[in-house]
Amino acid sequence: MEFPAPPHGDAHRYWALVGFGGLVTLAGLLAAHYMEEHGHIVTGMNNQIVWGMPHVFAIFMIVAASGVLNVASIGSVFGQAPYKPRAPLSGLLCIALLAGGLFVLMLDLGKPDRLIVAATHYNPTSVFAWNVFLYSGMTAIVMVYLWTLMERRMNAYSKYAGLAAFAWRIILTTGTGSIFAFLVARQAYGSALLPPLFIVLSFGWGLAVFLVVQWAIYAWNGRSPPPETLARMSRLLAVFVTAAFYFVLVYHLVNAYFAKQQAFERFLLLDGGVYPLLFWGGYVVVGGIAPLVLLWHPRLRGPRGTLAASLLVIAGAFAWLYVFIIGGQAYPLDIFPGYQVTSSFGDGQIQSYMPSLPEIALGFGGLGLAFLITVAGVRTLPFSPKDDAPALPGVSAH
């Protein structure tokens, strides 16, 4: 197997990036240790809100891991030539993001040794148990797919491996959405719309992550992507953001149609304090309208506009997940419609939540691990796009 030389660049800057990623990952490990030693009392979580800020980070990385592989699928499965040189980087980012998301999920168990119980005592009726196979299967299939891309003797099988990866990523994202779709103990969840919603969201989030990483790699080497390819990917991102808007709109319209859900929708979209602010300001404006303006406006679109739009889509993704996950748990389940429920346990009351520093540090620790895997992978193996790219104005390649 022959590999071309890794991307050139200043070794000091490379090790600085590795050191930065290592410190962020270490901070996540220390935060997990602190929470394990002192218990979840040091977090903002409680008996009602059991999925906190770490789950916002974890779900984002897992969903984006599925979506970022869409770049490879467009090239290998659907035969679009401009995307084929980007397939190896797409596969690397998929594995990196999936590892970062699972890093957070496992360390948020309170006691990581509980993972042994999950691995040795399988419950086929639990969607969480299904995900054990979905996540590990995704990693294995993508590794085989990368092998078929990088080993010349296996190139003939890359389309079949890409097709398997495409099918598996759809199943994986369906499983992630099904975690919430099958959960009827919260007003926000228990909807058949959630699996397809998560699939559509993954398209935009994954492509946004890919565009940011691609920009960083090209900028590191003093290059720029082909304008035609970047324009094509920018238009695709706009389509994905618009499609996600549509599914989110349908999800809330369906909820608002049912009388039992109207109070919850009012809480989430109007009266819930931070949740309406994050939904309308964070997701709709920052994560939706602003990126579409940057991608469609003739004076704003371009390399910088695409980068800014991608970063805004990622910010909007975190805002939407916070509203969906935290806000969905904060609102009490309406067990007896038409009656007021009170108890010493807090039934019938809206719960408050404030993320703590250890939770945030653990979430960023997962991002740090994904960053480390990506930096090391791009440096040591030919994951960078290999198309002929023009040099950036005023910048010379190292």
Highest mean pLDDT among 47-51, 75-79, 111-115, 376-380: 376-380
Cα 284 from Cα 310, distance rounded (Å): 14
Residue 394 lies in a domain: no
Q: How many domains does the chain have?
A: 1
Is the confidence at residue 398, as pLDDT, over 60? no
Residue 360 lies in a domain: yes
Token pair listed for 68: 């970022």
- At 143 the pLDDT is 94
Cβ(131)–Cβ(123) below 8 Å: no
What is the extent of the structural domain holding 245?
11-334+341-380
Token pair listed for 75: 């090239």
pLDDT band at 112 (very low <50, low <70, confident <90, very high): low
Residue 34 lies in a domain: yes
CATH number at residue 328: 1.20.1630.10
How many CB atoms sit inside 10 A of residue 344's CB?
5
Residue 391 lies in a domain: no
Residue 90 lies in a domain: yes
Is the confidence at residue 8, as pLDDT, over 80? no
- At 394 the pLDDT is 42
User: Helix (H, G, I), strand (E, B), or coil: what is residue 398?
Assistant: coil
Average pLDDT estimate for 283-288:
95
pTM (whole model) above 0.85:
yes
pLDDT band at 4 (very low <50, low <70, confident <90, very high): very low
Cα 362 from Cα 148, distance rounded (Å): 35
Residue 392 lies in a domain: no
Residue 370 lies in a domain: yes
The separation between CA 238 and the C-alpha centre of its own chain, rounded to angstroms, equals 17
Report CA torsion sign: 263, 264, 268, 272.
positive
Average pLDDT estimate for 76-94:
89
Residue 395 lies in a domain: no
- Lowest-pLDDT range, 147-161, 167-181, 336-350, 366-380? 336-350
- Mean model confidence pLDDT for the chain: 86
